[in-house]
Amino acid sequence: MFITLEGPEGSGKTSHIPPLVEYLREKGYTVFPTREPGGTSIGEQIREVIHDLKNVEMHPRTETLLYQAARAQIVEQVFKPRLQMGEIVISDRYYDSTIAYQGYGHQQDLEQVRSLVKYATGGLVPNLTVLLDVDVEEGLGRKKQNGAEWNRMDAQDIEFYRRVRIGYLEMVKVEPNRWVVVDAGQAWDEVQEELKRLIVEKLK
């Protein structure tokens, strides 16, 4: 079972994963949490290059390719072997982030982005993708408040994040069987309960 969490800035994705993993482990599942970009030594090094605030000159195509380089590594080194062993892999972001941020956000050609993503993933698609959906202004406000990592991808203009959110919502419409939308504007506990419920349901 391969589960991915997606969402715009400040959706709270990252804070929901550790308690979710603990809950599933208590239920006896073997769960492997990870994140993108990163999750491997090579991927974490690429993450630093992409997110470094110094790299202001980075072109969107460079950015798109770097995300795919990190992704190809995590797919082969982590996702495929763990899934083959029957583990539940939960990833904080996966290729839908590229479609949302580089495709919709940076307005790169969607067909080209999709084919790059397919190349990077070797066609590995999640069984379940949860969109933690939150209003753009609210999400950015939360992110500033909670002192989370502030990186180059957080320095885009507001319209960029609006396009990202629209992109996610369009992807949900195209593949409603893979996606579940959770309203991340609710209280944190309610979001956590909903995540637990829907993942357990899917595992059945």
Contacts with ligand TMP by CB under 6 A lie at 36-37, 67, 93, 97-98, 101-102, 149, 153
Which is closer to ligand TMP, CB of 57 or CB of 149? Answer: 149
Count the neighbouring beta carbons within 10 Å of the beta carbon of residue 166: 14
Measured CA to CA, the distance from residue 7 to residue 15 in angstroms comes to: 12
Which is closer to ligand TMP, CB of 59 or CB of 204? Answer: 59
Measured CA to CA, the distance from residue 15 to residue 195 in angstroms comes to: 12
CB of 118 to ligand TMP, least distance (A): 14
Of 82, 96, 75, the closest CA to residue 32 belongs to 82
CB of 100 to ligand TMP, least distance (A): 7
Residue nearest to ligand TMP (CB): 101
Which is closer to ligand TMP, CB of 48 or CB of 183? Answer: 48
Measured CA to CA, the distance from residue 91 to residue 93 in angstroms comes to: 6
CB of 1 to ligand TMP, least distance (A): 20
34, 90 Cβ separation under 8 angstroms? yes
CB of 165 to ligand TMP, least distance (A): 12
Residue 73 burial by CB count (10 A; 0-12/13-18/19+): exposed, middle or buried? buried
Which is closer to ligand TMP, CB of 34 or CB of 102? Answer: 102
Residue 46 burial by CB count (10 A; 0-12/13-18/19+): exposed, middle or buried? buried
Which is closer to ligand TMP, CB of 29 or CB of 118? Answer: 118
CB of 15 to ligand TMP, least distance (A): 11
